[in-house]
Copies of this chain bind each other. A is one copy, B any other.
Amino acid sequence: MAIQHPYLMFLGDAPDQLAAKTAAGVAHWRPEWCVGQLRLPDCHADLGLKDMTIAEAKAAGVKSVIVGVANRGGRISEAWTAVLTEALESGMDLASGLHRKLVDVPALRDTARATGRQLFDVRHPTRDFEVANGRKRPGKRLLTVGTDCSVGKMYTSLALEAEMRRRGMKADFRATGQTGIFIAGDGVSIDAVVADFISGAVEWLTPAHDEDHWDLVEGQGSLFHASFAGVTIGLIHGAQPDALVLCHEPTRPHMRGLPEYSLPSLELCMARNLEAAQLTNPAARFVGIAVNTSGLKAEEADAYLEKVSKAQGLPAVDPVRHGVAALVDNLE
């Protein structure tokens, strides 16, 4: 069921680099999987990969075309459909992070059926999940949680995977959002699961494993986000985390999308996340804090991290500036 690599990154007619944010994340974390990019005329994004036609991608052994781009007006244009149909006919699968499903485009659905290729609409779970059973299962799990949405939970989880593998530890990133799913090749868009099955889907995503194996579970939302806390607490309960890492962005003026809501303090946020985690894993503990300091100057960032580390008694790092070695040290 996983998305097969190597990937060709389809950028379509992305109006700017930001529209290709998902594709850029995949190319950053899985450079060895991303052998080329396909850009239509009027594309203003560039991943720095080799530009390829479908025929060239086929010759390069591409197995899947990744539609990792926000399209204009939410539609899948005829120009896109022509290229994507050609990819299917050349033996490649398609995987898309668009809200609009590939499977709802008749030409793509029919061609996929005729050619036996697969369409992955990663925002839309197609599996059925069980209700969570809450039973402890072997293996270790680390979950990233946040003061808010979009504060670096995926980045931190992936940086932890890379650092732990570098040290020879058994570690797998577990994706809960669309970009993460392209990077892992599999996963669950947890915010698109039916409410009754949030925790059950996470139990499925992070199954029993070797006792010395770590699942690094991508967190979503925040317990303090008035729109999405249901996703967050279900994710915490299903993951049964042994370890938690708090992610934070210190310059944010208010909760993302909610101008009337300020961010919680780190203390309060950690206390509430720990309470939630201890329902399904009484041994849960925080092992560190990951701060996105891109809004601060280097010396400000260092001072901020030192202050946070001292106040919370935990390692505090910016994963981009410093890596996450200090967090893994504390885990080991």
Contact = CB atoms under 8 A, between A and B. Distances in A.
A191 B196 contact: yes
A134 interface: yes
A199 interface: yes
Copies of this polypeptide in the complex:
2
B260 A135 contact: yes
A226 B195 contact: no
A279 to B, nearest CB: 6
A224 interface: yes
B234 A195 contact: yes
B199 A230 contact: yes
Contacts of A135: 260
A280 B257 CA distance: 14
Contact of A195 (B190, B258, B275, B279): B190
A99 B279 CA distance: 30
Contacts of A223: 233
A230 B233 contact: yes
Given A194-B193, A233-B233, A258-B134, A199 B224 contact: no
A192 B261 CA distance: 27
A226 B199 contact: yes
Interface string A143-156: 00000000000000
A184 interface: no
Contact of A191 (B134, B195, B229, B272): B195
A259 to B, nearest CB: 9
Interface in A206-261: 223-224, 226-235, 237, 257-258, 260-261
A229 B224 contact: no
A123 to B, nearest CB: 10
A132 interface: yes
Nearest to A223: B233
A114 to B, nearest CB: 27
A257 B198 CA distance: 16
A134 B230 contact: no
Contacts of A231: 195-196, 230
Interface in A104-135: 131-135
A288 interface: no
A198 B237 contact: no
Contact of A230 (B192, B195, B257, B275): B195
B226 A134 contact: yes
A261 B131 CA distance: 15
Given A133-B258, A229-B276, 9 more contacts: A134-B226, A134-B261, A192-B195, A195-B230, A198-B230, A199-B228, A227-B237, A229-B279, A233-B233
3 closest A-B pairs by CB: A230-B234, A134-B226, A230-B230
Interface of A: 131-135, 190-196, 198-200, 223-224, 226-235, 237, 257-258, 260-261, 272, 275-276, 279-280
